[in-house]
Amino acid sequence: MNYETFKTNIAISKRELCRVIFREHADTIQIKTEETVVRNLEKIFDATLKISNRKGFQAMSMRDLSRETGLSLGALYSYFPSKDKLLAMLQNQRRGVSRRILEEQIAGAATPWEKFKTTVRVHLYLSEALQPWFYFSYMEAKNLDPRQQRAAIESELFTDGLLADILEQGALQGHWPERNHEISAGLIKAMLQDWYLKRGKHKRRRISVDQYAETVIAVMGAYYHVNTP
């Protein structure tokens, strides 16, 4: 699997995410025409990411968002009742979609090494397809309320735990030696985050997401002395 194949096979786009958000929040969103909601949610989220990258989410006002989207304040409040709800909506959707796609793709992998390679590739491909959302989620995690902060920490630990479990399975099956798999998982996660947090650096070096994925896989394969394809 490469990035182009991933994009072809996985329906992942801002528009699709907005469609899912509408369906999950149809009881609280006051506008009921799906295409109108999806179109305006896409505007709202694009504007939120743009303003947040420029001045920070906490400094963004609803009037800033109104000017950037061309939607009135009343129209904005018909989609979400507060900035905190908007932040939670953005964070929850990105985490939920990422987790679902990761689990679906890993389920089709037969061996621990295939599961490991799939996890690395899918995480990177998701972060490439949704880079502004991933960057926003990381940078704004500190501004979440305590309940949402716990959810963000749980999401972080989910990926770390997933990687550590796969590495432990491989060791138990004799594919590679025992290591401290939790440390390894943390190091891998840091490499994955570097892709979307420092996207400009990699772009200037003309490194593709496929090249980066294969490098992360090769580095960990060498460290674990992998003896399975």
User: CB atoms < 10 A from the CB of 171, how many?
Assistant: 16
Which residue, chain included where needed, has tokens 């500190």? 142
In a domain, 135, yes or no: yes
Q: What is the pLDDT of residues 91-122, one digit of tens each?
A: 887 788 888 889 999 998 999 999 999 999 99
**So what's the pLDDT on residue 214?**
96
| CA separation for the pair 62, 80 (Å, rounded) | 11
User: Distance between CA atoms of 202 and 15, rounded to whole angstroms?
Assistant: 26
pLDDT digits (tens, 9 = 90+) for 157-181: 889 999 999 999 999 999 999 999 9
Phi, psi of 109 (to 5 degrees): -90, 135
**Nearby residues of 138 by Cβ (< 8 Å), 6 or more positions away:** 193, 196, 197
What is the pLDDT, as a whole number, of residue 17? 80
Residue 66's domain comprises 3-224
List, for residues 109-158, the tens digit of each pLDDT value: 999 999 999 999 999 999 998 888 888 888 887 777 787 778 777 877 88
| Chain mean pLDDT for the chain | 89
The domain total for the chain is 1
Residue type, position 90, single letter: L
Q: What is the pLDDT of residue 11?
A: 66
Please, are residues 152 and 144 in contact by the beta-carbon 8 Å criterion?
A: yes
Task: Give which of 135, 171, 169 is closest to 53, Cα–Cα.
Answer: 135
| pTM exceeds 0.95, yes or no | no
Residue 168 lies in a domain: yes
Residue 98 domain-assigned (yes or no): yes
Q: H or E stretch including 126?
A: helix 112-129
Instruction: Give residue for tokens 């989207």.
Output: 69
**Which residues are within 8 A (CB) of 135 and not within 5 positions of it... i.e. 6 or more apart?**
53, 196, 197, 199
Confidence of residue 229 (pLDDT cuts 50, 70, 90): low
Q: Is the pLDDT of residue 46 over 70?
A: yes
Please report the pLDDT score of residue 119 as a whole number: 96
Is 228 a residue whose pLDDT tops 60?
no
Average pLDDT over residues 50-67: 90
> What integer pLDDT is reported at residue 144 of this predicted model?
73
Q: What is the CATH number of the domain that holds 210?
A: 1.10.357.10
Please state, in angstroms and rounded to a whole number, the distance separating the CA atoms of residues 76 and 69: 9
What six digits make up the tokens of 14? 């801002």
Any domain includes 229 = no
Residue scoring higher pLDDT (206 or 136): 206
Q: Which residue has the higher pLDDT, 10 or 195?
A: 195
Q: Which among 30, 152, 40, 159 is positioned nearest to 92, based on CA atoms?
A: 152
